[in-house]
Amino acid sequence: MEEKMSNFLTEIVESDLAEGKVQQIHTRFPPEPNGYLHIGSAKAIYINWSIANTYGGKFNLRFDDTNPVREGEEFVRSIEEDLRWLGAIPDGGIYYGSDYFEQCYEYAEKLIKEGKAYVCDLTAEQMREYRGTLTEPGKESPWRNRTPEENLDLFRRMRAGEFPDGSRTLRAKIDMSSPNMNMRDPAIYRIVRAEHHRQGNKWCIYPLYDYAHPIQDAIEGITHSMCSLEFENHRPLYDWVINNIGFEKKPHQYEFARLNVTNTVMSKRYLRELVETGLVDGWDDPRMPTLCGLRRRGYTPTSIFEFVRKAGVAKTYSIVDSRLLEYCIRTELGPTVQRRMAVTDPLKVVITNYSADQTEYFEVGNNPEDPSAGTRKVAFTREVWIEKGDFAQVPPPKFQRLKPGGEVRLMGAYLIRCDEVMTDENGEPVELHCICDLETKNGMPADGRKVRGTIHWVSAAHAVDAEVRLYENLFTLEDVSDIPEGKTYKDFLNPNSLTCLKNAKLEEALKDVPAGEKFQFVRMGYFCADSRHPGVFNRIVTLKDSFAKTLEKK
């Protein structure tokens, strides 16, 4: 059973229910369809969905498609797919901000008639100049005192397309001396001629988010509008819109700190730039923090939500160690996925005392943490592949793998001893000639000699050719939001973020596995069959878990 989340937001919800302020919790997730969702989005999704789910409420998905310039159906489809994958089903319905364009327009006319909004002819640059600073009040627009009749006429002509893009805005008439910059007569409509992915060319004026969002919440009956902390200073405007339009049932906005993760970026602008400049292989590149990238790499919805829970929900800025996410997926996969042998950097071993026409099968356990996972048969033949790193011609001290004259156990099979090393012109080993102790397939040698090393292997005759991709952090800088002066985020791209091992040899059981299937490659890490390229396996995470000790100390 999923652990109940407890934080300042759940305390607010429980209090509101107990006091009868609301009868049913209703939340929403309002993404703009101009990019793919990332792991920071997962926090917003989880908070809104889980609170509605926990307290018997409803959860809406609403696309914030009020800016037609970069929005499109591709992003709509990807967002819906991500929510389905996460299991955050919008049982309250799926909506679009553009569904409410007519109502937003009508409410704007209402504000104009009541003298609470006016058409302004200042350019964007002039509006910035008139806005003032944090220490100086703004100046009123020369067009602030137009009559409601004149404003209504101009606004209707704006809708009719009589004026050029950017030539006029509709502004809320609030307070140019307000200490909150967002309350200094903010623009609530602008002229933009761009084809909308749903509305086509029906509109040439579009409401701005700070105006449209509270209206959408109120129309849908949202009770708790939970969003990230950068909207905290926008809350007075949210309330102003709700109160001045006169909604009877008023939604309330609450803010939480967004999810920041080490060694990556969350800005959709930067993520889009990475994709469009070819620095990554699309939005679903497994190095990306996008949900589709994490899915392709092999992360699971449960591991992502567990990461969000462990990261916590608070109101203060923090940056979460990406190793916590690795810990969550590693903890989930260890007891559940089957083990397989894979050689990523192969070195051939010839067993000279084993018949060339003989094939033997060994029973090997599928998961030592789960006896019910059973066993599988692994073929053993005269020629096998081992990792180059498991052999050393001049071994360092305490080296317990294969060396000239030394013995190791082939995992689940025989002990072998290296008798001869075949090298290339550079002296690098290319083939080892070994003998196996045919009496040791069920245990240690009868003469009592001790062999400590065990290495994995793959039968050369049965090996499956594959490409294995190893991933590291996309950036070398821990906090990519704090870039040193004179540098850009591109200066900190990790050149080792992707390593492609194109000559891997996998055991026969890994042939034609379905995309998305996950395994532990013994001694190597956890891997996932790539969804785009058959025969490619992506490393999800390594076996080593230093972060677990960090958690134990806390």
Residues recognised as catalytic: 32, 258, 268
Half-sphere exposure at residue 408, Cβ-oriented, CA atoms within 13 angstroms: 22
Query: H-helix or E-strand containing 521?
Result: strand 518-521
Only one residue has tokens 């134990």, namely 552
Amino acid at 332: E
Question: In sequence order, what are the residues at sequence separation of 6 or more whose Cβ sits closer than 8 angstroms to the Cβ of residue 243?
Answer: 250
Distance of alpha carbon 531 from alpha carbon 514, whole angstroms: 8
Residue 220: closest CA among 21, 14, 87, 30: 30
- CB burial class (10 A; 0-12, 13-18, 19+) of residue 537? buried
The number of beta carbons lying within 10 Å of the beta carbon of residue 486 is 6
Distance of alpha carbon 501 from alpha carbon 499, whole angstroms: 6
Only one residue has tokens 């001290």, namely 397
132: which DSSP letter?
A: -
- Strand bridging mode 375-380 / 360-365: antiparallel
- The alpha carbon dihedral of 380, 385, 390, 391 has a sign of positive
H helical segments located in 114-177: 124-131, 148-159
Query: H-helix or E-strand containing 324?
Result: helix 322-333
Only one residue has tokens 């996932």, namely 528
Residue 376: closest CA among 412, 427, 425: 412
460: which DSSP letter?
A: T
Question: In sequence order, what are the residues at sequence separation of 6 or more whose Cβ sits closer than 8 angstroms to the Cβ of residue 39?
Answer: 259, 261, 266, 289, 290, 291, 294, 304, 307, 325
Task: Name the token pair of 162.
Answer: 């009589």
